[in-house]
């Protein structure tokens, strides 16, 4: 593959990831949301594969494999399992409506591009536009966490943030040293487990995983 | 490989295993403080030469005076908190609030928590530091949500979500730092802090700027900077009191350590950038905390806000950015770490005795539990910066640092806000001491209840009143290693 | 311990001065006896009294502790001014301790230990040579007096005190920190002329802040709000120590900071501002003291007035400084001397009030009366006290007020804008002096004169043995410091001029002559002559009832204290903001301090309201919290991008 | 010159009842009454001294000390005031001390009023203090005006001498205004109409009389005498400080004689003025008094400021 094609493919994957993010923001049902997340992870793996192939850095392959295993297979299943176990509604509650969320995510994308612009101009790697996209995905993930009321959707938001982060990591720096990546994955895993446990406990104590009920501790 | 560190790591692993292995309720509550005392001793053995300027530098590990200061604080407060846990959790176990299994889990988690925090400061790569900070969150989540009450679950939930978001943001910052080192540092050592420092001026400045914002906001969430502080009062108020003390006194420092390392790099590359951000967050935190404190109702929440206030002060010190101010900030941090547990532990005593955290319902502490009342009063006066306690020296040297660099306005603002903090703390704490105690309030005594408080009070007094030349040199060394590879 | 000067005697003196009090403090904390710390404190006090003699014998005493703090060493040094202050304060301290040991309060070991700590703190304030020691000692003074003020039902007052003084302490920390940073030295003797380093604007601000910072302790408006309650509700001995020795320390530190460190150059305008502030404080203190009904409150406001006169003098010195060194020396002397005099007569009055409270069990002057008949000795010393307070010759209070008026009238000699303001200041002094005289006449009259207004006053317990002794000594000092004031004035002025770097004699600033000794002898002589002469006309004497227009008067038909001050309250009605009305069948006049009403209460409610608003940020909703993080991130990134 | 100084003090002390008698006589004359003789006060005092005392059982030593202190303070004041000669027997502390001696007198008298334990004593004391609060600034300012005008410090003899030697040059707005102010002060201080009525015994209007109500016999005599002496001293001060021309500065016999004659003439003029005021005006309400005193204060303030402005 020549340079141009690979650059285009990288951009394509990144854009697809962003697209899944935006779609996730607009999704009101739980299962499609999880599907979107695994789809995004697939694109992330693809991106990793392309970068690994182009740059010839073998450790990115490991990353690619990890992503496929953990984020495409394990994580969605685990989320579905938790969902089944604690009987979450199929509906996703939004605190601001879909148009509002979409507008906000559009704003986030704009902000990301604006912020990343001076950085991109000095960069020489092919994956320049990935910085802006990964920042957008992070911000949109955070936005999702702000607008979703259910504990599970918050988790998905966090995981999508992580995806954006890895997009940035892979694209910008051809993957950080492997140890970091593995560690990060590990951390995410543990986080998800804990979140799962707590979501369970929250369910027990509050009869719903709607986190907006968790409002006892305030001033 | 440095033998001392290896011994320390081995001791950590061994004590963690031991604490997990011991099943007996009484035994584990003795073994665990003993283990943390051992860790403290080993840590002293390791850190004292480092503080004097002998940098540990081999493969995975890297310790300079800055990390030694942080590590010593963790070991010290960790020990005191373990000792206090004996009394605190012991009583809960006796009363049946805490089951035998939970009791074992508590001590195992506690020693792991302490160990992870200590390990965070020994490593060379900032990526691993990040990992350590992340791991502390995970471990401590269980401690925060230790009680299976609704509120505890809620607090733990908020804690883990917000802190995970925070460290994710910080990791993105790290990624950008890594990206900015491309072509400058060999990629295997790109995030090694000594290498970063060495090549600081060659990094991509634009990238570093953005990275610094992400890192300060990200780790700042865990430090408790306003407005990312929101998890902090919940977690501190819901955790068992020894854990609250530990969270406030050293966990926040861990995240601060993460910021500091990059702060140093950024200040070399781009002087005045990171420090300005720190200054802004410092004043935001100090100001917001001051107003939160005035009308607090919950004792431990108020103490949590006071932690935010102190983190703000420390950030202001780094924000000023001169060596004097950085040393002052480190001193203030040390002072806070030594002083804040006094408050949380004595608050723990009060809460166990009165069965409430509502300050308006706690009256007559000085009658019902004189020692605790004295400790609470001393702790309050110490934390708001009354002499002769260490926070006073910290705050004064902070002011000196600010004045030294011509920032009289910062001093004026700080003084005004500190006055509000004082008024707020005094308004809330001191009425609790006076008045007529309710009948159900009882005095709680015991060695492991008293000893930690005495140790901490002596420590804060000693730091405030007398400081041997060598100790001030240590702080000076630590300060100079913030902005430069030492030596 | 090794002294930096010659080893032997200096070290011995320092040990005798500090060690007993330090040991006493520890004994008080750990021990069970209140007597031992008291005795140890008395030993230190005696050593303190000898401070000035020792200084004349061996000047330049200084010492530095081998272990320092993070912020520098602990060093002390004694100069002439400081040692005079220490000596006089120690006398007062000793008398208070003696009185305490003979009073019926049953003070705990803790309290005696606190006294030791206070002695240490105050003495260190006066002789500290390193900034850190000074600040520590100064805060320790607040802290210890705060602890010593503990009584039932006094909580809000003492917390208010602590809050206000702590805020003052913070201000001082900032100012001293500034000087510290400017000179780069933690030793106070290096701070000479720091005003020149920091520039005129900073100097002016520093001087203003110094007056505010110490003003919180001295009760400058509007920082006096804690005073009356604190004075009234604390144990009397705490009040005495707080208002005398602590104020002395504050005055001395203020004087040193303003005149020695910052310097009085270019301070004319700041001086004028402070003059006005002090004058307002003095007037307000005098006016408020006249309407109080508790002896200790009357004396609290009187302290405020007296300390305002001291700060008035010190700020006048700033105004005079550029044009006339001798007038500056005079006015400074007047201020410092007044501080010392005040500590003597105020402790005398407060101790008397304590005895009165003790024997009668009454705390309202409206329930006292007629004590002069049953307690003639106490009434005699109290008379000396009020005479001093009211500046009646030849008492010591008269001498310092005379000096003040002399310096004001002498203003004419200098061509400055102050000349036009001078008449107003003279008038202020006049009004103030007469109002406080009214207030003291009222205090004395309602406590000791007339007929008893309650059972406690009509059948008082006998006075405790030995409690009259210290009061009598203080009364003697009032007379002695009045009649023999010249040696004291010379020594004090010499010390003050040395500190302030003034090269002039205060005597050149005097526009009239005063011979207190001759005047005193003449007054006492004339009284004696008149007394003897009146004996010659000794005719018969019949016991009668008081003339009651034909009926008999019961003791409630005497003038009430409220009525006594009523005419002046009516005259000054706009300032008092009093409200009158019928309450529970009695006509009452209610006063609320305008400063509390218009400054403190609104300020407090603003803070509280802001706090409640800020607290709404903590919604308890995690989505909001995540929103904060998102917003912060976006704002921070945008800010960095834009800037 | 000590002899002259002593004689001058003795003269003042001896003349006090006479001045009081003269004022009463002049007043009576203006009111078309024959009035008592000018020597009547001497006779009154003598009579009182010979009488026994009626003392309330509740009175303490203060009650008996007050007349002594009052009288002593006034005697000292008499020794401090220049009358015919600028040198004085007791020049200690100058005018400021004089003011404080007046305070001493007033303070003692107020305590005496309170000591009586009756309703009237307290009332009189209270009113007296109210007036003195308002008098004091005017008095002090008057003195300050003199000190500044003469440039001779605050010693009374020096001021008198300085103004006398300045001659007509001294007569300016400052001096005139200050003199007017001092005249008002004199009336107020000495319990004259319109501030107080020295002869009233109507309870509601009493000020000075109320305070000495409980005294009788020799103590009343001492109180009465001190108040006469106070008036005389005030008159002498007005004469020798504000109108000092003719006063003997050297102490030579001829100048002394001239000075004595002039001084007595001045006293008579002042007495006449007082009698005139007392006959023309009536006693004003207590709460109107502050207005009058404020006028006095304003006069002396203007006097003082005019020194700097004009």
**What are C264's two structure tokens?**
């009085």
pLDDT for A213: 63
pLDDT for C389: 92
Q: B227: cis peptide before it, omega within 30°?
A: yes
Query: What percent of chain B shows pLDDT beyond 70?
Result: 99
Closest residue to A177, CB basis, from B138, B179, B188:
B188
Query: Among C179, C619, C632, C635, which would you mutate to test the B interface (most chain B Cβ atoms within 10 Å of its Cβ)?
Result: C632
Low-confidence ranges of chain A (pLDDT < 70): 1-2, 87-95, 122-128, 175, 178-180, 183, 187, 203-214
pLDDT for D174: 87
The number of domains in chain C is: 1
Q: With beta carbons less than 8 A apart as the criterion, state whether C171 and C237 touch.
A: no
Does residue C222 sit within a domain? no
Tell me the backbone φ, ψ of residue C544, rounded to 5 degrees: -135, 175
Residue C142 pLDDT more than 80? yes
pLDDT for C3: 41
Residue C487 pLDDT more than 50? yes
**What are A13's two structure tokens?**
């994957």
Does residue C340 sit within a domain? yes
Q: pLDDT of B389-445, one tens digit each?
A: 999 999 999 998 998 888 889 999 999 999 999 988 988 988 888 888 888 888 888
Tell me the backbone φ, ψ of residue C322, rounded to 5 degrees: -65, -30
Chain D residue closest in CA terms to C373: D60
> Coil, helix or strand for A219?
coil
**What are B123's two structure tokens?**
């490593």
Q: With beta carbons less than 8 A apart as the criterion, state whether D96 and C406 touch.
A: yes
> Are C159 and B408 a contacting pair at CB < 8 A?
no
pLDDT for C609: 93
Alpha-carbon radius of gyration of chain B: 21
Does residue C621 sit within a domain? no
Residues of chain C neighbouring B472 (CB-CB closer than 8 A): 70
The CA distance from C59 to C81, in Å, is 12
Q: Do B and A share at least 3 CB pairs under 8 Å?
A: yes
> Are C621 and A146 a contacting pair at CB < 8 A?
no
Query: Among A187, A193, A202, A203, which would you mutate to test the B interface (most chain B Cβ atoms within 10 Å of its Cβ)?
Result: A187
pLDDT for C2: 41
Judged by a CB distance cut-off of 8 A, whether residue A177 touches chain B is yes
Does residue C562 sit within a domain? no
Q: pLDDT of C601-613, one tens digit each?
A: 898 899 999 999 9
Q: With beta carbons less than 8 A apart as the criterion, state whether B82 and B32 touch.
A: yes
Please state, in angstroms and as integers, the Cα–Cα distance from residue D144 to each residue in C101, C203, D152, D294, following that order.
Answer: 48, 34, 11, 17
Residues 100-129 of D with CB under 8 A from C: 100-101, 103-104, 106-107, 110-111, 114-119, 121-123, 125-127, 129
Q: With beta carbons less than 8 A apart as the criterion, state whether D23 and D40 touch.
A: no
The number of angstroms, rounded, from the C-alpha of C637 to the middle of its chain's C-alpha atoms is 55
Chain A residue closest in CA terms to B144: A198
Residues 453-472 of C with CB under 8 A from B: none
Residues of chain B neighbouring C132 (CB-CB closer than 8 A): 393, 396
Does residue C484 sit within a domain? yes
Provide the shortest C-alpha distance from residue B355 to chain C (in Å).
23
Residue C9's pLDDT band (cuts 50, 70, 90): confident
Residues of chain A neighbouring B168 (CB-CB closer than 8 A): 138, 158, 161-162, 165
DSSP C316-374: HHHHHTTT-HHHHHHHHHHHHHHHHHHHHHHHHHHHHHHHHHHHH----GGG---HHHH
Residue C539's pLDDT band (cuts 50, 70, 90): confident
Judged by a CB distance cut-off of 8 A, whether residue D50 touches chain C is yes
pLDDT for C67: 83
Does residue C205 sit within a domain? no
Mention every residue, 6+ apart, whose C-beta is less than 8 A from residue B250. B70, B73, B74, B77, B78, B117, B337
Residues of chain B neighbouring A194 (CB-CB closer than 8 A): 138, 141-142, 160
Mean pLDDT of D268-284: 90
Q: pLDDT of B235-255, one tens digit each?
A: 999 999 999 999 999 999 999
Q: pLDDT of C26-42, one tens digit each?
A: 888 887 777 888 889 99
Closest residue to A145, CB basis, from C626, C633, C640:
C626
Q: What is the mean pLDDT of chain B?
A: 90
Residues of chain B neighbouring A122 (CB-CB closer than 8 A): 204, 206
Does residue C410 sit within a domain? yes
pLDDT for B151: 85
Mean pLDDT of B251-279: 92
pLDDT for A89: 63
Mean pLDDT of D80-95: 84
> Are D117 and C391 a contacting pair at CB < 8 A?
no
Judged by a CB distance cut-off of 8 A, whether residue C642 touches chain B is no
What single-letter DSSP state applies at residue B61?
E
pLDDT for C1: 38
> Are C173 and B399 a contacting pair at CB < 8 A?
yes
pLDDT for D310: 63
Judged by a CB distance cut-off of 8 A, whether residue C620 touches chain A is yes
From C167-176, D173-182, D194-203, the region with the lowest mean pLDDT: D194-203
Closest residue to B160, CB basis, from A115, A184, A195:
A195
Mean pLDDT of C296-320: 92
Provide the whole-model pTM. 0.90
**Which chains sit next to B, with 3 or more Cβ pairs under 8 A?**
A, C
The CA distance from B102 to B471, in Å, is 40
Mention every residue, 6+ apart, whose C-beta is less than 8 A from residue C2. C11
Residues of chain C neighbouring D221 (CB-CB closer than 8 A): 537
Query: Among C368, C380, C393, which would you mutate to test the D interface (most chain D Cβ atoms within 10 Å of its Cβ)?
Result: C393
Mean pLDDT of B193-210: 87
Does residue A213 sit within a domain? no
Residue C226 pLDDT more than 80? yes
pLDDT for C193: 81
pLDDT for C414: 65
pLDDT for C5: 46
> Coil, helix or strand for C293?
coil
| Host domain of residue C442 | 323-514
The number of angstroms, rounded, from the C-alpha of C187 to the middle of its chain's C-alpha atoms is 27
pLDDT for D40: 93
Name the residue ranges covered by the structural domains of chain D: 2-309
- Count H helices, E strands: chain C? 28, 5
Mention every residue, 6+ apart, whose C-beta is less than 8 A from residue C138. C121, C125, C169, C172, C249, C253
Q: With beta carbons less than 8 A apart as the criterion, state whether D110 and D193 touch.
A: no
Q: What is the mean pLDDT of chain C?
A: 88
Judged by a CB distance cut-off of 8 A, whether residue C147 touches chain B is no
Provide the shortest C-alpha distance from residue A215 to chain C (in Å).
4
pLDDT for C344: 95
pLDDT for B336: 95
> Are C393 and D132 a contacting pair at CB < 8 A?
no
pLDDT for B331: 94
pLDDT for A127: 61
**Which chains sit next to C, with 3 or more Cβ pairs under 8 A?**
A, B, D
Judged by a CB distance cut-off of 8 A, whether residue A142 touches chain B is yes
Provide the shortest C-alpha distance from residue B167 to chain A (in Å).
10
Query: Which residues, in sequence order, are bridge partners of residue C588?
Result: C581
Tell me the backbone φ, ψ of residue C291, rounded to 5 degrees: -105, 0
Judged by a CB distance cut-off of 8 A, whether residue C431 touches chain B is no
Mean pLDDT of C423-451: 90
Most confident of C87-96, C265-274, D159-168, D250-259: C87-96
Provide the shortest C-alpha distance from residue C320 to chain B (in Å).
29
**What are B46's two structure tokens?**
């390791």
**Which residue in C351, C252, C239, C385 sits closest to C311, CA to CA?**
C252
Q: With beta carbons less than 8 A apart as the criterion, state whether B215 and B187 touch.
A: no
Query: What percent of chain B shows pLDDT beyond 90?
Result: 53
Closest residue to B294, CB basis, from C607, C618, C633:
C607
Q: Do D and A share at least 3 CB pairs under 8 Å?
A: no
Does residue C549 sit within a domain? no
The number of domains in chain A is: 1
**Which residue in C132, C335, C176, C343 sits closest to C246, CA to CA?**
C343
């Amino acid at each position: 593959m020549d340079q141009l094609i690979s650059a285009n493919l990288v951009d394509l994957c990144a854009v697809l990831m962003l697209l899944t993010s935006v779609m996730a923001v607009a999704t009101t049902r739980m299962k499609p949301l999880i599907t979107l997340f695994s789809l995004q992870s697939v694109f992330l793996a693809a991106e990793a594969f392309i970068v690994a192939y182009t740059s010839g850095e073998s450790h990115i392959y490991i990353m690619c494999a990890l992503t496929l295993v953990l984020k495409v297979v394990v994580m969605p299943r685990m989320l579905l399992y938790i969902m089944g176990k604690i009987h979450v509604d199929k509906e996703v509650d939004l605190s601001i409506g879909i148009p509002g969320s979409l507008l906000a995510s559009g704003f986030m994308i704009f902000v990301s591009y604006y912020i990343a612009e001076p950085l991109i101009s000095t960069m020489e790697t092919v994956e320049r536009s990935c910085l802006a996209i990964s920042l957008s995905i992070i911000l949109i993930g955070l936005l999702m966490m702000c607008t979703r009321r259910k504990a599970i959707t918050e988790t998905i938001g966090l995981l999508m943030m992580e995806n954006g982060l890895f997009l940035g990591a892979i694209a910008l720096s051809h993957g950080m040293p492997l140890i970091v990546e593995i560690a990060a994955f590990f951390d995410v895993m543990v986080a998800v487990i804990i979140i799962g446990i707590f979501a369970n406990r929250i369910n027990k104590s509050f009869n719903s995983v709607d986190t907006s009920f968790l409002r006892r501790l305030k001033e | 490989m440095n033998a001392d560190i290896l011994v320390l790591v081995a001791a950590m692993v061994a004590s963690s295993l031991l604490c997990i292995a011991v099943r007996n309720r009484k035994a584990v509550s003795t073994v665990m403080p003993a283990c943390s005392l051992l860790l403290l001793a080993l840590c002293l053995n390791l850190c004292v030469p480092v503080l004097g300027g002998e940098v540990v530098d081999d493969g995975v590990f890297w310790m300079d005076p800055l990390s030694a200061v942080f590590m010593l604080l963790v070991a010290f407060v960790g020990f005191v908190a373990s000792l206090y846990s004996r009394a605190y959790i012991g009583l809960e176990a006796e009363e049946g609030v805490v089951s035998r299994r939970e009791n074992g889990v508590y001590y195992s988690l506690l020693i792991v928590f302490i160990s992870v925090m200590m390990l965070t400061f020994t490593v060379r790569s900032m990526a691993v530091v990040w990992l350590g900070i992340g791991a502390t969150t995970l471990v401590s989540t269980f401690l925060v949500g230790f009680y299976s009450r609704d509120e505890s679950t809620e607090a733990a939930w908020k804690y883990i979500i917000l802190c995970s978001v925070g460290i994710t943001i910080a990791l993105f910052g790290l990624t950008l730092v890594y990206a900015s080192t491309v072509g400058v540092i060999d990629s295997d050592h790109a995030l090694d802090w000594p290498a970063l420092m060495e090549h600081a001026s060659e990094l991509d400045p634009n990238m570093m700027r953005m990275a610094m914002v992400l890192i300060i906001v990200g780790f700042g969430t865990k430090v408790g900077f306003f407005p990312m502080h929101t998890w902090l009062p919940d977690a501190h108020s819901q955790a068992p009191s020894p854990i609250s003390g530990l969270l406030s006194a050293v966990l926040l420092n861990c995240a601060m350590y993460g910021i500091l390392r990059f702060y140093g790099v950024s200040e070399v590359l781009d002087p005045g950038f990171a420090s300005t951000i720190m200054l802004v967050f410092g004043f935001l935190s100090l100001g917001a905390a001051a107003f939160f404190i005035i009308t607090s109702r919950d004792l431990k929440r108020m103490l949590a806000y006071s932690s935010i206030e102190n983190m703000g002060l420390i950030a202001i010190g780094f924000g000023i950015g001169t060596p004097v101010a950085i040393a002052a900030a480190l001193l203030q941090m040390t002072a806070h770490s030594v002083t804040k547990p006094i408050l949380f532990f004595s608050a723990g005593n009060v809460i166990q005795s009165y069965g409430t955290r509502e300050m308006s319902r706690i009256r007559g502490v000085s009658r019902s539990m004189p020692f605790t009342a004295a400790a609470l009063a001393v702790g309050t006066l110490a934390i708001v910066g009354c002499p002769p306690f260490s926070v006073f020296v910290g705050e004064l040297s902070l002011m000196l640092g600010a004045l030294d660099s011509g920032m009289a306005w910062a001093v004026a603002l700080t003084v005004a806000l500190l006055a509000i903090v004082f008024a707020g703390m005094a308004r809330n704490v001191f009425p609790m001491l006076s008045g007529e105690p309710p009948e159900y309030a009882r005095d709680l005594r015991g060695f492991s209840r008293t000893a930690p408080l005495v140790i901490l009070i002596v420590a804060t007094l000693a730091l405030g009143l007398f400081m041997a030349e060598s100790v001030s040199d240590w702080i000076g060394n630590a300060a100079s290693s913030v902005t430069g590879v030492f030596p | 311990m090794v002294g930096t000067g010659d080893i032997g005697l200096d070290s011995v003196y320092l040990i005798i001065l500090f060690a007993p009090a330090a040991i006493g403090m520890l004994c008080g904390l750990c021990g069970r006896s209140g007597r031992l710390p008291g005795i140890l404190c008395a030993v230190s006090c005696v050593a303190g009294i000898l401070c000035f003699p020792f200084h004349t014998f061996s000047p330049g005493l200084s010492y530095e502790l081998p272990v320092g703090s993070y912020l520098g060493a602990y060093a002390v040094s004694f100069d002439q001014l400081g040692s005079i202050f220490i000596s006089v304060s120690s006398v007062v301290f000793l008398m208070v301790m003696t009185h305490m040991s003979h009073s019926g309060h049953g003070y705990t070991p803790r309290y005696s230990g606190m006294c030791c700590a206070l002695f240490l703190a105050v003495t260190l304030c006066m002789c500290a040579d390193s900034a850190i020691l000074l600040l520590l000692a100064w805060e320790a003074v607040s802290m210890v007096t705060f602890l010593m003020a503990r009584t039932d039902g006094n909580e809000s007052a003492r917390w208010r005190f602590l809050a206000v003084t702590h805020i003052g302490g913070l201000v001082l920390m900032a100012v001293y920190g500034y000087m510290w940073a400017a000179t780069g030295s933690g030793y106070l003797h290096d701070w000479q002329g720091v005003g020149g380093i920091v520039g005129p604007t900073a100097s002016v601000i520093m001087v203003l802040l110094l007056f505010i910072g110490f003003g919180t302790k001295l009760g400058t408006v509007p920082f006096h709000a804690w005073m009356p309650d604190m004075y009234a509700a604390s144990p009397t001995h705490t009040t005495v120590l707080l208002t005398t020795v602590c104020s002395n320390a504050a005055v001395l530190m203020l004087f040193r900071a303003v005149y020695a460190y910052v310097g009085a150059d270019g301070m004319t305008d700041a001086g004028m501002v402070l003059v006005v502030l002090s004058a307002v404080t003095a007037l307000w203190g005098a006016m408020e003291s006249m309407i109080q009904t508790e002896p200790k409150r009357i004396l609290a406001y009187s302290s405020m007035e007296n300390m305002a006169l001291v700060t008035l003098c010190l700020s006048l010195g700033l105004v005079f400084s550029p044009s006339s060194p001798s007038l500056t020396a005079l006015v400074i002397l007047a201020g410092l001397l007044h501080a010392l005099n005040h500590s003597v007569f105020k402790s005398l009055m407060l101790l008397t009030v304590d005895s009165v409270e003790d024997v009668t069990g009454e705390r309202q002057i409206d329930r006292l009366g007629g004590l002069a008949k049953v307690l003639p000795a106490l009434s005699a010393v109290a008379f000396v006290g009020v005479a001093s307070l009211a500046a009646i010759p030849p008492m010591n209070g008269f001498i310092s007020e005379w000096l003040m008026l002399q310096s004001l009238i002498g203003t004419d000699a200098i061509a400055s804008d102050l000349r036009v303001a001078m008449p107003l200041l003279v008038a202020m002094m006049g009004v103030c002096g007469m109002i406080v005289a009214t207030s003291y006449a009222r205090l004395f009259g309602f406590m000791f004169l007339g007929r008893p207004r309650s059972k406690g006053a009509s059948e008082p317990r006998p006075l405790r043995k030995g409690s009259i002794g210290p009061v009598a000594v203080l009364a003697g000092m009032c007379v002695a410091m009045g009649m023999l004031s010249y040696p004291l004035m010379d020594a004090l002025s010499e010390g003050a001029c040395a500190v302030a770097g003034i090269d002039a004699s205060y005597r050149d600033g005097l526009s009239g002559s005063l011979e207190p000794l001759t005047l005193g002898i003449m007054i006492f002589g004339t009284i004696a002559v008149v007394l003897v002469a009146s004996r010659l006309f000794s005719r018969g004497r019949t016991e009668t009832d008081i003339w009651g227009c034909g009926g008999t008067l019961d003791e409630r038909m005497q003038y009430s204290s409220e009525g006594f001050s009523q005419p002046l309250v009516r005259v000054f009605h706009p300032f008092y903001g009093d409200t009158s009305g019928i309450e529970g069948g009695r006509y009452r006049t209610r006063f609320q301090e305008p400063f509390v009403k218009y400054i403190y209460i609104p300020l407090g409610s603003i803070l509280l309201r802001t706090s409640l608003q800020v607290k709404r940020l903590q919604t308890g909703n995690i989505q909001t919290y995540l929103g904060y993080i998102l917003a912060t991130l976006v704002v921070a990134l945008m800010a960095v991008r834009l800037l | 010159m000590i002899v002259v100084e002593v004689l001058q003090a003795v003269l003042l002390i001896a003349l006090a009842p006479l001045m009081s008698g003269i004022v009463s006589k002049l007043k009576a004359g203006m009111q078309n009454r024959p009035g008592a003789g000018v020597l009547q006060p001497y006779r009154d005092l003598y009579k009182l001294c010979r009488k026994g005392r009626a003392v309330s059982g509740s009175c303490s030593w203060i009650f008996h000390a007050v007349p002594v202190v009052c009288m002593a303070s006034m005697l000292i004041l008499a020794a401090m005031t220049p009358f015919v000669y600028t040198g004085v027997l007791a020049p200690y502390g100058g005018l400021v001390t004089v003011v404080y001696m007046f305070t001493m007198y007033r303070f003692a008298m107020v305590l005496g009023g309170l000591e009586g334990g009756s309703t009237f004593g307290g009332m009189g004391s209270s009113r007296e203090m109210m007036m003195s609060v308002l008098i004091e600034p005017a008095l002090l300012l008057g003195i300050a005006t003199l000190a500044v005008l003469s440039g001779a410090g605050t010693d009374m003899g020096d001021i008198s001498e300085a103004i006398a030697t300045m001659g007509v040059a001294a007569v300016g707005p400052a001096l005139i205004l200050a003199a007017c102010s001092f005249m008002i002060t004199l009336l107020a201080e000495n319990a004259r109409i319109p501030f107080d009525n020295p002869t009233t015994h109507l309870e509601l209007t009493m000020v000075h009389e109320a305070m000495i109500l409980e005294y009788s016999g020799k103590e009343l005599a001492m109180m009465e005498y001190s108040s006469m002496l106070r008036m005389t001293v005030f008159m002498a001060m007005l004469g020798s400080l504000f109108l000092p021309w003719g006063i003997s500065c050297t102490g030579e016999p001829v100048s002394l004689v001239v000075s004595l004659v002039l001084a007595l003439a001045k006293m008579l003029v002042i007495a006449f003025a007082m009698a005139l005021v007392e006959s023309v005006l009536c006693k004003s309400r207590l709460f109107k008094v502050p207005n009058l005193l404020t006028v006095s204060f304003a006069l002396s303030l203007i006097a003082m400021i005019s020194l700097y402005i004009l």
